[in-house]
Structure 1
Amino acid sequence: MSVDEFSHTFAVSAPAARIHGHLSDPESYVGLSPLVVAVRDVRREGDAVSYVAVERFRLGPLHWDNLIRVTMTFPVPGRRIVSDVRSPGWVHLVATVDLERDGDTTRVTESVTVTCPWILRRFVIGQARSVQQARARELTRRMEASRTAA
């Protein structure tokens, strides 16, 4: 098994509480993560939220839906979210989002650890990094759009 770690930090012009609230809602990930087209089977158990996300991979007119199981926990309420993601093919991803107030913005750091079979490594890491960057852009867009609409 291959294990890789990477992180990305970016600033969002929104309070940490609003960002945390958005990221704590499984439905927010539809479109936030570019591959996620649906969320289902949401269950809240204590301080955890579990759900199934449907990732859609496209190749021309063909597509494949990958069902991933996600469990979100909140070890530092309002400041940290940990998503434990299990995907078919023995792919395991843990994404930790830390929120830190920085003047008029919130600094968002997403750290990712991916474990997968070595034969899938290049594809999985490429997708995970691409999704991480897209998610940062979309989160920034959503938070700033809702700020100007208010």
Structure 2
Amino acid sequence: MSTEQFSHTFRVPAPAGPIYAHLSRPESYVGLSPLVVAVRDIRRTGDAVSYVAVERFRLGPLRWDNPIRVTMTFPVPDRRLVSDVHSPGRVRLVATVELVAEGGGTQVTESVTVSFPRPLRSLVLSQARSVQRARARELVRRMTDASEPAQ
């Protein structure tokens, strides 16, 4: 097994509380993570939430649904959450999101540690980094839209 780590820091023009609340709900990840098309089997136990997220991969007319098991924990309420993801193919990803209030917004840092069989290195790393950047853009969009007054 190989392991890689990387992180991404970005600013969201919203307070940490609403961002944390959004990221704490499994349902929020549909569309937030561009591959996630559904979540199911949500179970809350103590300080954790476990669920199955369905990632959809497409190659031309073919599609493949990849069910991944996710356990979210909340080590520092309103500031840090950790998602531990187990995917078929012996791929494991741990994403830690840190929120720091900054002016009228929030600095968000997502640190990722991913483990995988060596032959999957290129695919796993390109997908994980791509999804991380897309998730950041979508979170900014969602939180920006949520903070704008209705017209």
Superposition TM-score tier, normalisation by shorter sequence: over 0.9
Could you tell me the TM-score, scaled by structure 1's length?
0.99
Q: Which residue of 2 aligns with 1:47?
A: 47
Q: Matched residues, percent identical? A: 72
Which residue identity is paired with 1:80? R
Q: For 2:101, give the aligned amino acid.
A: R
Task: Please list the CA deviations of residues 6-25 of structure 1 after superposition, one character each: whole Å capped at 9, or x if unmatched.
Answer: 00000001110100000000
Q: Where do 5+ consecutive residues of structure 2 fail to align?
A: none
Find the counterpart in structure 1 of residue 30 from structure 2.
30
Give the superposed CA RMSD.
Answer: 0.6
Q: Secondary structure at the match of 1:137?
A: helix
Distance (whole Å) between structure 2 residues aligned to residue 72 and residue 121 of structure 1: 25
Secondary structure in structure 2 of the residue aligned to 1:33: coil
**Is residue 59 of structure 2 the alignment partner of residue 62 of structure 1?**
no
| TM-score, length-scaled by structure 2 | 0.98
Q: Which runs of 4+ in 1 moved over 6 A?
A: none
Report the equivalent of 2:134: 134
2: CA distance, partners of 1:39 / 1:147: 26
Alignment gaps of 5+ in structure 1: none
Alignment of 1:52-91 (within 5 A): 52-91=52-91
Residue identity in the other structure for 1:93: L
Aligned to 1:105: 105
Deviation of the 1:105 alpha carbon: 1.1
Aligned residue pairs, count: 150
Q: Deviations over 1:77-96 (max 9, x none)?
A: 11000000000000000000
Q: Aligned partners of 1:97 and 1:62: how far apart in 2? A: 33
